[in-house]
Structure formats: C-alpha cells, structure tokens
A and B are shown apart, each in its own frame.
Chain A
Amino acid sequence: NAGVTQTPKFQVLKTGQSMTLQCAQDMNHEYMSWYRQDPGMGLRLIHYSVGAGITDQGEVPNGYNVSRSTTEDFPLRLLSAAPSQTSVYFCASTDLPRDRRNEQYFGPGTRLTVT
C-alpha cells in the first residue's frame, strides 16, 4: 500500500492563480480530510468528506473547494490564490469510525507559497 499520497510536494503560485492539490489513498478509507498547518496554529481542518459524493466544510474553508467523485481521490482546489494561503497542506484519511476512535493517516504534505 502506498498509503496517502499528495502531489505536488512544493508549489509556488502568484496571487490570483488557481491550482489543484491532489490527494489519493489506497486503503479504501471512507473519510478524507484536508488540513493546513501554519506556525503557531497547529493543524486546521479545511474540508472533509465522509464518502464519495459527500463533502463538508471544516474550520477554515474560505477560498478552497473540494470534490469527492471516487473513494480514492480528494482534490483541493484553490480558486484564486492569496498570500494568506501560503501554508503546508496535509491530506488525511481514516476508516469511517463506528465508534469514533480510528487514527488518521496523513500524506507527506504540500508546501505552497503564494507571492
């Protein structure tokens, strides 16, 4: 199993550009999520999905879109990049927990800089 994969690893964008961060998992996990990590802020949830066709907003969703057309893939789209979106982005997945105890598996992260 490759686990959770993310591409690209690094990206530099100019303000106003759009792009898609890719995330895929091969563990047949129902639940997938996107976090951003900023200094002193910990990991903050952007969007999450509990299964194909179902997505919902997290703590900091503005400026981002997601879709979940398959169980494996959960891309994150930046519609019009802003310097405030400079961050490290992590994708995570887990089994949809029956008793809410399942650990999350994280991808390697995408470091995004918006100039």
Chain B
Amino acid sequence: ILNVEQSPQSLHVQEGDSTNFTCSFPSSNFYALHWYRWETAKSPEALFVMTLNGDEKKKGRISATLNTKEGYSYLYIKGSQPEDSATYLCAGPVNTGTASKLTFGTGTRLQVTL
C-alpha cells in the first residue's frame, strides 16, 4: 500500500443494521491514523485519532480498531441510524516527515434508510 485507501466507496444499509468499512495505509513510518465524519454541506469533523497498534476507540455506537503492522483500520457502526448517513474519511501521514501533512482517502459514503 503506497497511499491511503478506503473501501467500500459507498454503502447503503437499513436502519438498525450494523456495518463496517476499511482504511488501508502504508505501515512503514506510521504514527497516527485519523477518522473524520463528513455530512453533506458541512465540514469534516474528527471522530478518532489512533496511534497504537491494537488501539480500539469508541464514541457512542461508532468504534474503530487499528492494526499498524498490517496497515489497516476498521470503523464499525452498531445499529445504524439515518443520522449516521455521511461520508467517513480516514487520513494518515504518507511519505512525509511532517506531522500534520495528512493524506486523505476518498471516503466511504454511508446511506442509512428507514
């Protein structure tokens, strides 16, 4: 992996379904992986910043795990609600020595319907 990649590109689930998506990143020189939630017509908001291999973070029904050795992070949403509909972005520092020169993935667009 030479860049930050996210899958799937989009996801459509029913209310109450649990779902998860993936962020892959270069595992060499890793020091942080960011997850952002981006609602339509708004600006991205930080969900998690993860740094340690094996890290698990949780905010309400949303949680994330991190595997720095193999270069991936999973974002989970338990019992999806319509208000969870958004694009979920991950970002990491790729091929830079600069702390906040983040490279963003293209995002996973989640739509939750009733």
Contact = CB atoms under 8 A, between A and B. Distances in A.
Interface stretch (B14-22, B38-46, B61-69, B76-84): B38-46
Interface in A27-74: 31, 33, 35, 40-45, 48, 50, 56, 58-59
Contacts of A108: 42-43
Q: Does more than half of chain B's interface fall in helix, strand or loop, or is it mixed?
A: loop
B106 A40 contact: yes
A90 B100 contact: no
B72 interface: no
B43 A107 contact: yes
B106 A101 contact: no
Interface of B: 31-32, 34, 42-46, 49, 51, 89, 91, 93, 98-107
7 contacts: A4-B43, A31-B99, A41-B106, A48-B100, A50-B98, A96-B100, A99-B31
